[in-house]
Chains A and B, each alone.
Chain A
């Protein structure tokens, strides 16, 4: 029904395909466990550690999706930069001290769980019901082809990313410096 590529019969566990499938299952479990830690952990430092595990798993998933370049970028940008930045912010803002009890808002607790469950269920049912057409590939999507496309057809995207990052750097400096002169 939905596109599954070459393999149709069940591969044995100790063939190359079977071991690949086993590694994929482990990676999938790591991603989900990391996500659960990131959204449910009591301490924010643990949540960042869970987010890191989750992002390493996502990078491995990108590798399974034939995109080693994006997997490397995921490791560099998310695991190496974003998580470290969040960890620094946690250390600078020290949010652990003022811990309050009681519900954080009307949607926290079971109602929030139901909200997230409904959204997840809707997405899964939508993926299950939809028939996605498979189109023939026009190229292989290697790193070289990404580079050529990024500097010819999608050069606007490239320039936009540069400008967005420049504005983000300047904005972060301005915002973080504002109160320091007092």
Chain B
């Protein structure tokens, strides 16, 4: 298969989504601030959406279902970002920091 025909192949999109998912997981475990972790979570959601859209284009009988589900993921991600960032702001107001190491009040 030629490298220029990659866009017509389901596996290309699956590999791309897997790589994005891996980056998201890596960022999620390495970041030390809450906002950095939220950015990585957005990467994971984008990877999931790419998977849905790829299967929707290449294998699903009804191509509207995957698009509607992707729209649902987008709405959930927007809600998650809004709630998460307001929690971050509330945490920052109380602790003057958004570093995950400073939020250990419940640690025994």
A residues with a Cβ closer than 8 A to B are 2-7, 9-11, 13, 17-18, 20-22, 24-25, 28, 31-32, 35-36, 38-40, 44, 47-48, 51, 54-55, 58, 61-62, 64-67, 69-70, 73-74, 77-78, 81-82, 85-86, 88-90, 92-93, 95, 98, 100, 104-105, 107-109, 112-113, 115-117, 119-120, 123-124, 127-128, 132-141, 145-146, 149-150, 154, 157, 160-161, 164-165, 167-169, 171-173, 175-176, 178-179
Contact = CB atoms under 8 A, between A and B. Distances in A.
A11 B4 CA distance: 7
Contacts of B97: 95, 98
7 contacts: A65-B56, A81-B78, A104-B31, A141-B63, A168-B78, A171-B83, A176-B90
A70 B42 CA distance: 17
A35 B19 contact: yes
A62 B11 CA distance: 15
Interface string B68-108: 10111011111111110111111011100111110000000
A32 B22 contact: no
B55 to A, nearest CB: 7
Contacts of A112: 26, 29-30
The secondary structure that dominates the B interface is helix
Contacts of B93: 179
Interface of B: 1-27, 29-33, 35-36, 38-40, 42-43, 46, 49-50, 53-65, 67-68, 70-72, 74-83, 85-90, 92-94, 97-101
B92 A92 contact: yes
B59 A3 contact: yes
Given A66-B63, A149-B68, A13 B27 contact: no
Contacts of A123: 14, 17-18, 21-22
Contacts of B92: 92-93
B76 A44 contact: no
Nearest to B38: A86
A39 B82 contact: no
Contacts of A150: 68, 71
Contacts of A13: 4
